[in-house]
C-alpha cells in the first residue's frame, strides 16, 4: 500500500470563491483517501455529491463540505497513492494553474513509500453504462486488466471541435502528460458562471478560454489534445470517490461531471452489494 513519505502543504486560490485556500496532504496508515473535518476523518467514498452543482461539490459525514477537489483527487489516484489524509483550510481546493500537475509534482517531490500492508483492489467485472440526452452522452466502465480511459469530446462550431484520446493510465504517464492538461471553457460559459456568482477566481492563468476564433489573451496549448486530456483528469478525480478508481476501461462520449457522478454512484452501489 503506497502512501506519502511526509507532509505536503499547498496554497492557492479557489476557482469559484476567489478566496485564498490551502491544504495539507499527510501519510495514512489505512487504505483510502480521507478528509479531516471538525468531527475527525471521513473517507472520500462517503462523499455525498451535490448532483446539480456546477462546483463539483460534496459533503462528508464529518461535517466538511469540499468544492472543486477533482484535480487533487485525480493526482492522488494518478500518482498511484493508496492511502492519504487531506486537511483543507476552507471549503475549496486551490485551482492552481487549472491542471493536476502542481499536485502531482508536489507528490513526486515529497516521495512515496510502502506501508507494508496490502491495498484492496477493485476492478470492473462487467460493462456498466450510463447515458444522458437520449444516449448522445455516455460513459461506460468495462472490464480491463489495466486502467484505461478513452474520451471523446465534441464542441461543434468552436475552435475546440472534436477530440479523442486513449490512455493506459500509469503514474509516469499521468505525471508527464495527463496531469498537465488545464481546465478549459468558452467565453459564454464564463459569462454565465460569473453572472451566477461563480468563477470569481478564474483567470487566464488557471484556465484555457476560447472564443469563436480560438484561445484568447495570447494563451497557447501545452499540447494539441490538451482539452480532451483534461476531461480524463476530471474523470479520474470523480471516480476516486468510488473509494479508489476501480481498474477498468472507461469509455466517455461527450461526457462531463454530471454523467461521471452517475457512474460513480452506480459503481459504489454495485461494490457495496458485492461487499467489495
Per annotation, catalytic residue among 16, 249, 257, 260 = 257
Indicate the annotated binding residues: 71, 230, 234
DSSP letter string, the chain: -EEESS-EEEEEEBTTT-SEEEEEEEE-SSSEEEEEETTEEEEGGG-EE-TT-SS--EE-TTS-EEBS-HHHHHHHHHTT-SEEEEEEESSB-B-TTSSSHHHHHHHHHH-EEE-SSPPP--B--S-EEEEEGGGTEEEEEE--SS-EEEEEEEETTSSSEEEEEEEE--HHHHHHTGGGPPPEEEHHHHHHHHHTT--TT--TTSSEEE-SSSBSTT---SSTTHHHHHHHHHHHHHHGGGTS--BSEEEEES--HHHHHHHHHHHHHHHHHTT-
**207 near 215, Cβ under 8 Å?**
no
Cell of residue 159, nine digits: 475552435
Residues contacting 105, CB < 8 A, separation 6+: 175
Give the count of beta carbons closer than 10 Å to the beta carbon of residue 151. 24
Is 257 annotated as catalytic?
A: yes
Residues at the annotated binding site for Zn(2+)? 71, 230, 234
As annotated, the active-site residues are 257
Amino acid at each position: 500500500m503506497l502512501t506519502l513519505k511526509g507532509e505536503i502543504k499547498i496554497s492557492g486560490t479557489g476557482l469559484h470563491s476567489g478566496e485564498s485556500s490551502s491544504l495539507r496532504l499527510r501519510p495514512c496508515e489505512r487504505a483510502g483517501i480521507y478528509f479531516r473535518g471538525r468531527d475527525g476523518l471521513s473517507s472520500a467514498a462517503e462523499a455525498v455529491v451535490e448532483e446539480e452543482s456546477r462546483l463539483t461539490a460534496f459533503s462528508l459525514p464529518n461535517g466538511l463540505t469540499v468544492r472543486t477537489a477533482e484535480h487533487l483527487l485525480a493526482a492522488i489516484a494518478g500518482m498511484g497513492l493508496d492511502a492519504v489524509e487531506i486537511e483543507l483550510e476552507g471549503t475549496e481546493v486551490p485551482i492552481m494553474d487549472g491542471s493536476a500537475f502542481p499536485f502531482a509534482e508536489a507528490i513526486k517531490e515529497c516521495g512515496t513509500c510502502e506501508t507494508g500492508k496490502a491495498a484492496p483492489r477493485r476492478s470492473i467485472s462487467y460493462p456498466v453504462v450510463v447515458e444522458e440526452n437520449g444516449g448522445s452522452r455516455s460513459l461506460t466502465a468495462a472490464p480491463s486488466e489495466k486502467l484505461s480511459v478513452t474520451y471523446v469530446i465534441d464542441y461543434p462550431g468552436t475552435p475546440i471541435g472534436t477530440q479523442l484520446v486513449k490512455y493506459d493510465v500509469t503514474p509516469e504517464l499521468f505525471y508527464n502528460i495527463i496531469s498537465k492538461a488545464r481546465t478549459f471553457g468558452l467565453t459564454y460559459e464564463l459569462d454565465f458562471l460569473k453572472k451566477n456568482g461563480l468563477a470569481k477566481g478564474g483567470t487566464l492563468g488557471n484556465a484555457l478560454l476560447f472564443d469563436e476564433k480560438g484561445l484568447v489573451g495570447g494563451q497557447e496549448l501545452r499540447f494539441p489534445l490538451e482539452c480532451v486530456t483534461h476531461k480524463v483528469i476530471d474523470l479520474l478525480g470523480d471516480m476516486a470517490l468510488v473509494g479508489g478508481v476501480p481498474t477498468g476501461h472507461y469509455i466517455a462520449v461527450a461526457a462531463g461531471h454530471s454523467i461521471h457522478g452517475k457512474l460513480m454512484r452506480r459503481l459504489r452501489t454495485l461494490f457495496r452489494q458485492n461487499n467489495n
